[in-house]
Amino acid sequence: MNGPGTLDWTADVGQLVAQPVADALATWSGEVLAAPIDPGLADTAAFCDKYGVALEDSANCVVIAGRRGEVTRYAACVVLATTRLDVNNVVRRRLDARRASFAPMEDAVALTAMEYGGITPIGVPEPWPVLIDAAVLQRDVVVVGSGLRRSKIALAAAALATLPGAEVIEGLAG
């Protein structure tokens, strides 16, 4: 597999990913590449522009908190950078929540042990569901966060469906 864009991709991902990601990758059977980036360019649009990665080959992972009464449920949601996550309908219903919203930054960072702006679906806490928009799996290779703002990872998009708790949902994003 070749990583997209002009990045210096390597299969030696160890120092380029957050610890929960490294732990999850220790049992991963698919190929994953990592590349260092300028942490100031971790946000998707700036990253894609600087490193020549097409927006449609870049996926965002966001942590959503769904609440019903005193119970809060979390999910990691993966959508292409060219789309918007349907938080208020699809995700809210999937989490059986009255209200769903982007998890506060402090909560997302503390719960995932990843850096904000680098959160990835690989290595999120179990038993969180990993909700993946079906359009993501239509790409050959997708670039996602590494758990750190200073790097990105690339992998076969279809491999995301093999993550623990993965659910592929048609129409998760629009």
At residue 58 the predicted structure's pLDDT band, cuts being 50, 70 and 90, is very high
Q: Would residue 5 count as lying in a domain?
A: no
Q: Would residue 4 count as lying in a domain?
A: no
pLDDT, residue 3, reads 86
Peptide bond into 127 cis (omega under 30): yes
Q: What angle do CA 27, 168, 97 make, to 5 degrees?
A: 105
Q: How far apart are alpha carbons 53 and 50 in whole angstroms?
A: 8
At residue 29 the predicted structure's pLDDT band, cuts being 50, 70 and 90, is confident
1 pLDDT exceeds 80? no
Which of 104, 105, 115 has its CA nearest to residue 149?
115
12 pLDDT exceeds 90? yes
What would the pLDDT profile of 64-89 be if each residue is shown by its tens digit?
Answer: 999 999 999 999 999 999 999 999 99
Contact predicate 112/85, CB 8 Å: no
Number of domains in the chain: 1
Q: Would residue 18 count as lying in a domain?
A: yes
Average pLDDT over residues 149-174: 96
The residue segments making up the domain with residue 89 are: 14-169
